Amino acid sequence: PWKIEPEVDRFLQELRGRVQIGVVGGSDYSKIAEQLGEVVDKFDYVFAENGTVQYKNGRLVAKQAIQDHLGEELLQDLINFCLNYMALLKLPKKRGTFIEFRNGMLNISPIGRSCTLEERIEFSELDKKERIREKFVAALQREFAGKGLRFSRGDGGCSLCVCSSKWRLLAGCGFSKETLLMLSLFFAPLQGGNDYEIYDDPRTVGHSVQSPQDTVQRCREIFFPERANEC
């Protein structure tokens, strides 16, 4: 799995000496920590599982669960529909963990989240040609219209995400537009993907970047203008 590069890690800690920093992710805390280290010690804020699990200054301050919000009947209807839909898909490969249950959402993967990196890339290329996830999202939108659900393609290339349309990542956290600086660490957020909504939200200042090094450079330009020319 991807892990933060040491020089990026060091820069973020230096940045924390100048401004408060936070990390936002769709994964649970353990997955975020696997990639970034013990983030509650490194970041002032941590928003895991689409912001439904929130840490501030190393302490868990809020937690919401999608099953409590949607109710068991709608949740089971959703899961059953997804399983039936995926059972009819013929793909080059299928692996395991087709539905991953998280506090803030369901992560649905037609190929299965236990696929290898090579299998994930193979599926992603096929998805670009045949729009597998796009069609899946459209089917869900038709089936569950008016049910208070939001569907989007996952940014990882092998899944799609389902959450409540009444929830918004970082909603209710008391941040102003000036304090929300959305930096995509890997790529320009895919329009229609689950990160794009934050990037495009009027309360955030979105910056499209191409790599972790590009992110560091943008942060230098914004927060360390006297060092903007450093490599």
113 is in an annotated binding site: yes
- Please check whether residue 18 is in contact with residue 44, taking contact to mean a CB–CB distance below 8 angstroms: no
Query: Measuring CA to CA, how many Å separate 218 from each of 9, 104, 206, 231?
Result: 15, 30, 11, 11
- Please check whether residue 186 is in contact with residue 40, taking contact to mean a CB–CB distance below 8 angstroms: no
Tell me how far apart the terminal alpha carbons of the chain are, to the nearest angstrom: 26
131 is in an annotated binding site: no
How many Cβ atoms are within 10 Å of 129's Cβ, its own excluded?
7
Measured CA angle at 199 (ends 115, 157), to 5 deg: 15
- Please check whether residue 182 is in contact with residue 205, taking contact to mean a CB–CB distance below 8 angstroms: yes
208 is in an annotated binding site: no
120 is in an annotated binding site: yes
Spatial CA neighbour of 210 closest among 218, 199, 202 = 218
Q: Based on C-alpha coordinates, what's the Rg of the chain?
A: 18
How many Cβ atoms are within 10 Å of 117's Cβ, its own excluded?
9
204 is in an annotated binding site: yes
Spatial CA neighbour of 65 closest among 82, 81, 48 = 48
Residues annotated as binding site for Mg(2+)?
Answer: 199, 201, 204
**Binding residue positions for alpha-D-mannose 1-phosphate:** 102, 113, 120, 159
Question: Could you tell me which residues are annotated as the binding site?
Answer: 102, 113, 120, 159, 199, 201, 204
